[in-house]
């Protein structure tokens, strides 16, 4: 399947989407499945993975409800407090919901040591036992902690969102690559080619701006551990769905058809165990 492995939905509420600051006024509105579906159809995607954007169980329930109503939402990455003493009860609550594939917290907003707490690591193990994936949302300065994390979580299905948000606007890549490389050596860690344009200058970027970072991702992870995600609608800050997609499409056109099929859907399908 051809899959958009990373996008969001929300009914805008300034108290809930308080991370949308004044620089992001254009996305201070509702974004629902009916807004995304035309893009997926136009560009040949058979489905998507909806990822949490709010830290609440209400968010998880909201996305699962949308997935129940829309067959093409193939999977949901919800939220839960991984370190909570109630984690086992929460997981039991969602037991049997086939659309719930994994979880994510907004780790980028927390200090690096947050993910190395004993109760967090214990919670991740619980996710692994239950067969849930975990999306790692971090900045480059979290990567040393991520390395320690993945060293402690052997064989858990983990994916790094947005390639850990390299400092594209500053043109920095050497330190980012150096810190990402040992993480990529763990074959159970995957990465999303997503959210890159919003790390560049929103009004002054081109495909050439993003290419060094995508090339490094391919070098480190290979096509079978990379997956495309639009990061819609956050990506709208930096360009249209078509422009964001085209940058990755043009890069993957240099690969074999089999390699391209992995990046554009097969990797996500296998990682999240998506059903057709």
Q: State the pTM of this model.
A: 0.96
121 half-sphere exposure, CB direction, 13 A CA radius: 13
Name the residue with tokens 């490094």.
Answer: 216
Fold of 3-271: TIM Barrel (3.20.20)
> Are the C-beta atoms of 2 and 264 separated by less than 8 Å?
yes
> Are the C-beta atoms of 259 and 252 separated by less than 8 Å?
yes
Q: What is the pLDDT of residue 1?
A: 92
> Are the C-beta atoms of 146 and 177 separated by less than 8 Å?
no
Q: What is the pLDDT of residues 22-48, one digit of tens each?
A: 889 899 999 999 999 999 999 999 999
Q: What is the pLDDT of residue 15?
A: 85
How many other CB atoms are there within 10 angstroms of residue 23's CB atom? 8
> Are the C-beta atoms of 30 and 10 separated by less than 8 Å?
yes
Q: Alpha helix locations (H) across the chain?
A: 33-42, 57-69, 87-94, 118-130, 143-152, 174-184, 207-221, 241-252, 257-261, 267-271
Ranges under pLDDT 70 in the chain: none
SS3 79: coil
Q: What is the pLDDT of residues 244-273, one digit of tens each?
A: 999 999 999 999 999 999 999 999 999 999
> Are the C-beta atoms of 139 and 108 separated by less than 8 Å?
yes
For 80-83, the CB contacts below 8 A with 24+ separation are 81/105, 81/123, 82/120, 82/123, 82/124, 82/127, 82/134, 83/117, 83/119, 83/120, 83/122, 83/123
Q: What is the pLDDT of residue 22?
A: 87
C-alpha 77/C-alpha 181 separation (Å) is 25
C-alpha 31/C-alpha 141 separation (Å) is 31
Which residues contact residue 208 at a Cβ distance below 8 angstroms, ignoring those fewer than 6 apart? none
The residues spanned by each domain of the chain are 3-271
How many other CB atoms are there within 10 angstroms of residue 262's CB atom? 22
């Amino acid at each position: 399947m051809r899959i958009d492995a990373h996008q969001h939905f929300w009914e805008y509420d300034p108290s809930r989407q308080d991370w949308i600051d004044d620089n992001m006024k254009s996305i201070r509105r509702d974004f629902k499945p009916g807004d995304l579906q035309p893009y997926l159809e136009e560009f040949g995607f058979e489905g998507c993975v909806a990822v949490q954007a709010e830290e609440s169980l209400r968010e998880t329930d909201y996305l699962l409800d949308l997935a129940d109503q829309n067959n093409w939402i193939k999977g949901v990455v919800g939220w839960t407090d991984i370190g909570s003493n109630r984690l086992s009860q929460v997981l039991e609550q969602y037991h049997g919901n086939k659309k719930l594939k994994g979880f994510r917290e907004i780790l980028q907003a927390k200090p690096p040591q947050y993910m190395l707490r004993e109760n967090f690591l214990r919670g991740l193990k619980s996710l692994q036992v239950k067969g849930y994936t975990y999306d790692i949302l971090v900045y480059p300065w979290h990567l040393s902690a991520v390395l320690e994390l993945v060293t402690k979580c052997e064989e858990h299905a983990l994916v790094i969102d947005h390639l850990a948000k390299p400092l594209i606007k500053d043109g920095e890549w050497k330190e980012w690559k150096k810190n990402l490389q040992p993480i990529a050596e763990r074959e159970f860690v995957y990465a999303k080619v997503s959210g890159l344009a919003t790390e560049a200058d929103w009004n002054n970027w081109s495909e050439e701006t993003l290419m060094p970072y995508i090339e490094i991702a391919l070098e480190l992870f290979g096509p079978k551990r990379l997956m495309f995600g639009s990061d819609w609608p956050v990506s709208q800050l930096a360009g249209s769905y078509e422009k964001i997609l085209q940058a990755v499409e043009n890069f993957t056109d240099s690969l074999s058809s089999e390699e391209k099929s992995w990046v554009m859907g097969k990797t996500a399908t296998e990682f999240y165990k998506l059903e057709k």
